[in-house]
Structure 1
Amino acid sequence: MHGIGKSDQAFSRMIAHDQPVNISLQPREGSSKCCGQPPSCQCRSEASRGRILRDLQNASEGDLSESHHQPLPRASPDSYESKSRFIPRGSLLQILGKRTVAGHLSTLLDDSQPLDQLADYISPGQEGACHCGDGLCTGSRILFACLMRIGREDRIVHLYNQPTTRRVCDGGLPFSDGGRFPEALNGLKEKEKQLFRHAQWQLRSHYLTKLNPEDQNFRQLDDEASLPFLHIDEGATTINGGLSIVRHIRIDSEHHDLCESSSHFALKTFKKGPISEEYFRKELRANQQAPRHDRIVPVLTAFKHRRRFHLILPYASGGNLEELWTTYSSRGALGGRAAPWYSTQWLLSECLGIAESLAATHQPTITTDQGGQRNSTPQVHADIKPRNILCFGTVEGGHQSYTLKLADFGFARKVNGDSTLQVGDVTHTKTYRPPEYDVEDFIHLNYDVWCLGCVYLEFITWAVLGWSAVENFTNRRLGEYDGACTSEAKGEDYEDTFFKKVSRIPRWYDLSGLKFEADRNTKSTSKKTATSQRSFRMSRGKIPISCQVKESVKSHIVDIRNQEVCVPEIREFLDFVEEKMLVIDAGKRVNSSEVEIFLRDMTDRQNDQD
C-alpha cells in the first residue's frame, strides 16, 4: 500500500476472483532477437519499461531535509536515492494506470492471455478496490514497479496466480531485511531481492491521519519510508525555538486527511535528545487536553520519524501577532503597510476571540461522540504572549484579513481542585508574567488574565501609535527597576515586566521589629593573659516585599488615552485593562469569563452602531 496507514473506511467492492485464471508468461513469437520492427521485438518491452521508470523518477519529490537548521533544499529529479525521495500517491496511480500497465503487459504476454484481469490486479480503478479491502491501497502498483526496476516484472504473474487468501498486494509491503519474501517471489536471486528492498522505499510514503481528539499517543512511523512533504517556496521562513523549530510545509494532498481545504501546514520538530522528547510528550498531552474551540490552534497529528518527534498544526499565513504588528499598521501614517482590514470593530472582535479561547481553557467542556458534553479539567495556559497568538488569513469584503487564534499549550498545566498551582510547577513567560509568580507560593487561573492584559495593552498601543511605540514602551519598562532589598542581585535589577517589586523599609527612628544580638570573642595573648571583646548587632529581621504596576506602564496608558485618534471604544477597553486586568492582587483581578463578557458587550454595541 502506498500510503502507510489504514483508512477507517474501505471500498466495498473488490476485484478479487474466487477462482483466478492462471496466467503464464509467454513472450511474443519472434521476440528472442531485435528485428527493429515492433511489436514483434524485445526492444519494445524494454522501451516501455524505460519510459514508465523515467516517468516515475521525474514525478518523485524530495523528502524533508534532515537538517533542522537550514531551509528545505530544492532537490534535483536526477537524485533518486532511498530515504531522500518519494513518489506522490496521485502520480503513482496516474503513471501506473490500468491502460499503461496493460500496454506494458502486452509487450510481454501472448495475445491470448487475459491481460484485463492481471491489469486489474495491478492497477484497480476507481470503480473497484484492491482485494485487501483498504481504500487507500494502491493495488499492486508498487510491487509491479519494484519488479520493473530489477527487470523481473514476469514475477507479477506468480503473485497473481496465488489463491485469493494468500495473494499479496502493496498492503503487504515493506519486505524488510530480516523478513521473508512471498513464496511467489522465491525465484528472485538474493541480489535481486536486495535491489527490490531498496526500490520499495522510493515508491512508498507515509499517509498522515488526523489525531483523535482524546488520543494522547503519537505514531511511530517507519524510518525507511519518506515523509510526504513537498518543497516550500524559497521565501518560507524557519523559526528556531529553544528545543524545537517550526516550518511551513506543504503535504501532498493524496497523503493525508488532516484538512480538506488546504495542503499547507506548520511542522513543529523537536530536536534530538531526552529533554526534547519529554517536552514533546508534555506539549502533546496539554494540547490534547485543551478544548476544541475555533479560536484554539489544534494539533492535527503527532509522530516520531527518524529519531525526531514532530507535531503538525494548521498553517498561519500571517505568522504570529508580533509579526503582524511589525509588518502592518492600523494607519499608513504610522509606518509599515496600512492594514486595509483594520477597524476598531476588528480589534475588539479579535480580542474577544482570544478571550473566548482562554475562557474555554479555564472552564472547558468536551463534546462526546454521542453529542453530549462533559466537564474537563481546567488548565493554566501559562505562556500567553503575542508570539503564541497566530494570524490566519481570511477574506473580508474583498480584502485580506486575519483571524487570531491562541496556540502553543506546551507550558499549560492542569490546576488542582481549588484551582491553584504551586509556582514552581509553572514555566513562566518572562515579560508577561504576573506579580504573584514572584512573591506568592501559589497561582490561580487568572494568572493568564494578567498576561492577556499585557498583550491587550500592547495591541492597543500598536492600533493607536504603531509598532515603534510598542518598542518604545518596552524600553521604558526596562528603564524602571525593582526597589532596593527585593532580590539577591547586586545593584539595580533591570527586567522587562509590567510590574516591579518594592520593599517597605522603616524609617531610622522606627524601632518596631528591631532585634539586638551580642557576641563575645576571647583571644589568648600569652600564657598568662587574654583579651575579651564584645560586639553588638542590630537587625530588622524580615522586610516585607510587595509589587506594584510600573510607573512607566501607568504613564504609557495616560499617553494613549490622551491621543486624539484614541476613540471612545478604545478608551473604554483601555480602562478595563488597567482597572480590571492589570491588578496586582490576583484575588481582585477579573477572571477570563468576565473578560469575555465585557468584550462581547462591547462588540455587540459596536455592531448595533454600524
Structure 2
Amino acid sequence: MSPTTSYAQDKNDQNAPGSLDERLRSSLVPYVCDADKYFLPLTELDSIVQHDTVHDFLKFGPNREYFQGWNLEEIMRYVCGNTESRDPRELKGSRRIFAILVLLDRATSIVDFMKDGLCDGDLPLVRHNEKGANFDLVRKLGEKEFSLTCFKGWRRIDIQQFDSHQWYMRPPIFAIKDGEAVFYPLESRIIFPWLEYDDAISQSDFSVVRRVRIHPAHHNFPPGLGNSFALKELKSRNKHEFDLEVAALKKIKPNPHLVTLFATYEYQQRYYLLFGWAEGGNLLNLWRNHDTKPTINRNLTLWLAEQCQGIADALGGIHNTLLPFHEEPQKNLAVPSTGHGPDDKNCGRHGDIKPQNVLWFSQEENDYGWGVLKISDFGLTRFHSALTTKVSPSGVPVSQTYKAPEYDLREDLSRPFDVWSLACLYLEFITWVLLGWDGVARFSEERLKERDSRKNFRFDMFFNLQRPKGSEPSATVKLAVKEWIQHLRRLPACCPFLSEFLQYVENYMMLVDKCKRDTSGDVSRKLKEMYRRCQHDRDYCFSQTSGSEANPDGQSEEKAGGGSIAESITPTLLVNDEKLTDTVETSQAGVKRKLDTMDPNLSSDDDPKKRPH
C-alpha cells in the first residue's frame, strides 16, 4: 500500500499501515546493549524518506493543512538534499532530522529547522545550560556553540525526546579506506549497529575479545566475510599504547594467513579493534571439537601442507616488518642478540604462537574444502631495537607448553623463539592428522611423564631444563618428543611428505641453540617446495595404507588394528610373567598437568584438553 493511498483512506491516522510514521517505527532496530534504545539502519532511512514519500506526507499527511501555505518543493529539497547547492551539508539534506520530527509527531517544526539552516551534518546537537534533566540544545561548529530558535515553544519533555532520538539516527558506518582500517573517535552516547553482541569468548591481562554481528548497511567490508566480526577491547586506556599496536598491525604486510584489521575506534575512553570472525574457532577447536578423528586422504594432506606453509609465510611477514625507532613500544622488549640477521635490529616477533592463536576461518573458500588458517592475537607482538632497554624474559608473558628453551635459560628473546613455538604446533598438527585428538592428548601425556631437574613438577613443554649445581643451566629436547617423531614416521599412514616434514621440524626448527634454527623465511621456502611436490606427486603426499582409500571405514591400519598408540611408546614391565603397561588415560578429563605454582607465568589453560577458544 502506497503512502498516498494510506493517507487518502485515513487522513488523520498516522499509525495506519504504510504511513510514514509507522514505517519508521517498524524499521527501528532494538539496540542489543540497551533494551530502551533503537537505531535506524541507513538503508531504511534512505528507502523510507525519499522525495515521493516526503511529498505525499506533506500534501496528504496529518499535517497537510499546515503545509498548504508553504512551498513544498523547497521543503523537499531541504529534507532530501539540494543537488544544486555548493554547500556539502545541503547536498546531504536533513532526512534524519525529518525522521526524528515525524516520530515525535512534530513534523511541522521542519520549517523552523529549515529557517535555522540545520541539516543532518549538524547532528548531534549538544546540551547547553544543563540543570538536572532540563537543558537546551545548540549547534556546535568546531569549538563554538550557536543557539537555535527552532525549539522555541517546545516542552522540556519534547526536547529530551529529540535529544535521545537523534542518536537513533546516527549508528556509525565502519569502512575500509584506501585498503586500510579507519580510526573512529566515537561519542560516548553513540548507539552501535550491533545485531548481536556476545559475551567475551576470551580475555587476558591485556584485552577482551567477543563476537559482534554488524548490520550489513553499516560496514563495507568484503561480502564473503559475512556480518560477524571479532571485537577486541584493550584494557589499557593509554592512547599511546593503542597507537603503537595499530601502527604495528598496519606496518605488517597483508597476508591471507594473518587476521585482517578492519577498523579501530575509541569509545568512552577505551580502545577497540575490529577483526574478521573465524566461524570455525581456532586450530585447537578443529582438533578437539570439530573433527577428533580425521579421515586421512590426499585432500587433507594437501591442505595441511598449504596451510603450514602459509602460516610460516605469515610469520615471516611479522618478522620482516621494520619500524622506525620512535614508533617502537618501550615495554616488555627483549633485545635480540642472536645474530639472526641485520633485520633483528628493528623487527617484529609474535611471541605467543600456539593453536589457540591460529584461527580457523572455515567459512572462507579453499581448494581443499577446509577453510583458511590465520595467525591472530598480535597483543604480544613486540618490535625490537638494539637501542631499547633490555628486560628479563621473566617479564614477558608466554604460553608454557610452546615456549622456547631460551626463556628458561634467561636468554634474550627474539624471532627464533617463534620458530620453536611453530615447530611445536606443527608436531601437534601432524599428530592430529595421523592419530586424531586422542593422539594429541597422548603426546602431551608422554611429555608430562618425562621430568627434568625440577623434580617436584611436571610440564608438557617440548624440552627439559637441567640446573646442575655450580654450572650454568642447560636444555635438551625431550626424549619423548624425539621418540614421538620416530613413532609418527613409522605409522603406515605417514606418507613421504609427512615423514620429511617431521624430519625437517626435528633437525632444523626444534633446536635448543636458537642461532642454529632456520628462520621463518627458511621454513616457508622449504614447506613451499614440499607443497609443490605434493601437488604434482601423488605418492609423495598420500600413503596407500591411509584414509578411506585404504580402508572402507576410513581408518588407517593403526586405528583399525586395535592396538593402542600408547602401547608402542610406553615402557612395558614383566611381573610374575604378566605384562603390565604404563597406561595412558585418553579420556577428555584424563590429561592433567601439574603446574609450577611458584611461577606466575604458568597457566592451566596450556593443558591441551582445557585450552579455551
Same fold by TM-score greater than 0.5: yes
Deviation per residue, 1:509-558 (Å, 9 max, x gap): xxxxxxxxxxxxxxxxxxxxxxxxxxxxxxxxx23310011122112112
**Which runs of no fewer than 5 residues in structure 1 stay unpaired?**
1-36, 67-78, 330-334, 367-374, 485-490, 506-541
1:554 aligns with 2:482: yes
**1:352 is matched with which residue: 300, 306, 309?**
309
1:43 counterpart = 2:12: yes
Distance 2:99 2:216 in 1: 22
- TM-score normalised according to structure 2 size: 0.72
Indicate whether 1:227 and 2:192 are aligned: yes
Q: Name the SS for the 1:606 alignment partner.
A: helix
Hey, what does 2:577 align to over in structure 1? none
What TM-score results when the alignment is normalised by the length of structure 1?
0.72
Match of 1:414 in 2: 383
1:375-431 superposed Cα distances (whole Å, 9 cap, x missing partner): 99420110111111112233346x732111111111111122599974436332221
Q: Does structure 2 conserve the Cα–Cα contact (< 8 Å) formed by 1:432 and 1:498?
A: yes
For 1:524-563, list aligned pairs within 5 A.
Answer: 542-563=470-491
Aligned counterpart, 1:133: 88
Look up the match of 1:588.
Answer: 516
Residues 25 and 103, structure 2, Cα contact 8 Å, conserved in 1? no
Number of the residue aligned with 2:414: 444
The counterpart of 1:257, out of the listed 220, 227, 235, is 220
Q: How far apart, CA to CA, are the structure 2 residues paired with 1:120 and 1:151?
A: 21
**Aligned match of 2:251 in 289, 297, 320?**
289
**Gap change, CA 1:360 and 1:176, over 3 Å in 2:** same
Whether the aligned pair in 2 keeps the contact of 1:384 and 1:432 (CA below 8 Å) is yes
Match for residue 511 of structure 1? none
Deviation by residue 1:151-207 (Cα, 9 ceiling, x = unmatched): 221121233356xxxx32111101111252563514342513222112212222112
**Correspondence 1:174 to 2:119:** no
Who is 1:99 aligned against?
Answer: 52
For 1:62 and 1:186, locate their aligned partners in 2 and report how far apart those are by CA, in whole Å. Answer: 28
The count of aligned residue pairs is: 490
Cα contact 1:248–1:264 (8 A) shared by 2: no
State the AA in 2 paired with 1:449.
V
* Paired residue type of 1:102: H
1:496 is matched with which residue: 423, 447, 460?
Answer: 460
Q: Which residue of 2 aligns with 1:314?
A: 276
Secondary structure of the residue that 1:401 maps to in structure 2?
coil
278, 299, 307: which is aligned to 2:261?
A: 299
User: 1:583 Cα deviation (Å)?
Assistant: 0.3
Partner of 1:242: 204
Matched residue, 1:459? 429
- C-alpha separation between the residues in 1 aligned to 2:379 and 2:387? 23
Cα deviation, 1:276-309, whole Å, max 9, x if unaligned, reads: x887566434323333223211221111224543
Question: 2:151 & 2:435 partners in 1: Cα distance?
Answer: 76
Q: Report the alpha carbon displacement of residue 38 of structure 1 after superposing the two structures with TM.
A: 7.6
* Residue of 512, 524, 527 corresponding to 1:599: 527
Match of 2:369 in 1: 400
* In 2, Cα distance between equivalents of 1:418 and 1:195: 57
Supply the RMSD in Å over aligned alpha carbons.
3.4
Conserved in 2, the CA contact under 8 Å of 1:561 and 1:571?
yes
What CA deviation, in whole Å up to 9, does each residue of 1:3-53 have, x standing for no partner? Answer: xxxxxxxxxxxxxxxxxxxxxxxxxxxxxxxxxx98599625x45699433
Task: Confirm or deny that 1:380 pairs with 2:349.
Answer: yes
Work out whether 1:571 is the aligned partner of 2:526.
no
Instruction: Determine which of 154, 171, 178 is the counterpart of 1:189.
Output: 154
Between stretches 152-161 and 139-148, larger displacement belongs to 152-161
Check whether the contact 1:230–1:252 (CA below 8 A) recurs between aligned residues.
yes
Correspondence for 1:24: none
Aligned partner of 1:180: which letter? V
My pick for the range that moved more, 549-558 or 350-359, is 549-558
Q: Distance in 2 between matches of 1:582 and 1:41?
A: 80
2-structure distance, mates of 1:444, 1:419: 13
Question: Letter of the aligned partner of 1:207 in structure 2?
Answer: I
Deviations 1:413-458 (A, max 9, x none): 1122599974436332221110011113312311110010000011
Distance change >3 Å, CA 545–CA 205, structure 1 → 2: same
Are 1:422 and 1:441, in contact at CA under 8 Å, matched by a contact in 2?
no
Alignment partners' CA distance in 2, 1:592 and 1:497: 21
Distance 1:395 1:256, change over 3 A: closer
Aligned equivalent of 1:154: 108
Q: Report how far residue 337 of structure 1 moved.
A: 6.4
1:574 is displaced (CA, Å) by: 0.1
